Amino acid sequence: MQRKTVSGKTFRTPFSQEYWKLAFAELKDTKMIVFAALILALRIAVKPLSIPIAGDLKEGIGFIINAFGSMIYGPVVALLSGALSDTLGYLLFPSGVYFPAYMITEMAGSFVFALFLYRAEITVPRLLLCRFSICLFVNVVLAYPIHVWYYSAVMGKAYSMALIRVVKNIALFPIETVILAVVFRALVPPFARLGYVHSDTKNLEFTRKHVILLICLFLVGLATLAGYLIYSYNTTSLSASYQPEQRLARNRAVETYVLENHPELNPDDTVCIIESAYPKAFSPEVAYTVAVYSADVSEAEDPEGLMAELEGLSKSKAAARTEMAFLFREEIILSGENAKEPEKGRDQP
């Protein structure tokens, strides 16, 4: 399957009209389509060969095959290959509910590999930047709204990005880059002789500069992780993770504060419901949104028991109770201690 008649021209960037002409021309090359089909079959075959990390998170070897194939057949074929890989992979090895939008991440990964590696001089910095871009921007940033969409449309609940997913991509990207460099050093020479690769392996040796670049990218990843944790902590309501006993205690704690600041309210029929509770990073303060109700329990067989039940309600359940009349909404900022927030009063992202 030699392709000696194919132009061996390389490009420093994909921002060239000739680059994309050659990329689209691969669709008309029968040998290239056959090669892409073989790569696709191999990608699907290795999908079950993965190491479970946590939950539905796994680490496999498919990225190696994807990177090498995308380097050879370019971004246009890579997009089609990614779409087919996701769809056929699910049909052959189903897991969970099929959601077509997940195809986007697999297509994007193949596309980014091709943009960096197709008709380019394969170097360690290219591999580093390529894998880092996929780990951060495709596997984390792009995947997040798709996960949110999936959880909302299919599972009917909210999605909060799992910390382990972010850590996995940041922690493994240096190792995956080294693996790619080793594999490429072995496979590039024979495929270059066949005319499928337009580079050599002279720039695939790790040097001190490459190690420094790897460390810098790793630190960028850690900074991104820290930023995500702070953002997630500041924007994830504590109230979503309250257990029944915790919810009752929090509602009563803010009720005490509201009654102290609103003496016109009757303590016997006032019920305060926490609608949201947002913490602040590096601060013990928690910002509460509290709905204040007036409860009519005079005709209940057990007024005290009903009052305790109402005080332990969540936002949605409180709004549906006919015994409660909404009065006003209060914004309150209290320290965790004053609001009786325990140290582990929330699910970590």
Between 331 and 49, name the one with better pLDDT. Answer: 331
Residue 302 tokens read as 């057990």
**Could you tell me how many residues make up the chain?**
349
The pTM (predicted TM-score) of the whole model is 0.73
> Helix axis angle, 62-92 relative to 124-133, nearest 10°?
30
Residue partners of 148: CB distance under 8 A and separation at least 6: 158, 159
Judge whether 110 and 84 are in contact, CB under 8 Å: no
| Mean predicted lDDT score pLDDT of the chain | 85
Judge whether 251 and 273 are in contact, CB under 8 Å: yes
For the stretch 90-148, pLDDT in tens is 888 887 788 899 999 999 999 999 999 999 999 999 999 999 999 989 988 898 888 88
Q: Given this model, what pLDDT does residue 342 score?
A: 37
227 vs 297: CA distance, rounded Å: 47
Helices (H), 122-242: 124-133, 143-150, 163-194, 208-235
Q: Given this model, what pLDDT does residue 340 score?
A: 43
For the stretch 49-89, pLDDT in tens is 777 665 556 678 889 999 999 999 999 999 999 999 999 98
For the stretch 204-237, pLDDT in tens is 888 899 999 999 998 988 888 888 778 777 777 8
Q: Given this model, what pLDDT does residue 52 score?
A: 67
For the stretch 239-290, pLDDT in tens is 877 888 889 999 998 999 999 999 999 998 999 999 999 887 777 888 899 9
Any idea of the CA torsion for 201, 205, 206, 210, to the nearest 10 degrees? -50
Residue 265 tokens read as 């309210």
DSSP 8-class letter at 27: G
For the stretch 148-163, pLDDT in tens is 888 888 877 766 666 7
Q: Given this model, what pLDDT does residue 344 score?
A: 33
How confident is the model over 319-342, as a mean pLDDT?
77
Burial readout 304-319 (b: 16 or more C-beta within 10 A, e: otherwise): eebbebbbbbbeeebe
169 vs 3: CA distance, rounded Å: 36
Between 25 and 231, name the one with better pLDDT. Answer: 25
Judge whether 69 and 81 are in contact, CB under 8 Å: yes
Q: Given this model, what pLDDT does residue 58 score?
A: 67
Q: Which domains does the chain carry?
A: 17-236 (1.10.1760.20), 239-335 (no CATH)
Residue 169 binned pLDDT confidence (cut-offs 50, 70, 90): confident
Between 168 and 30, name the one with better pLDDT. Answer: 30
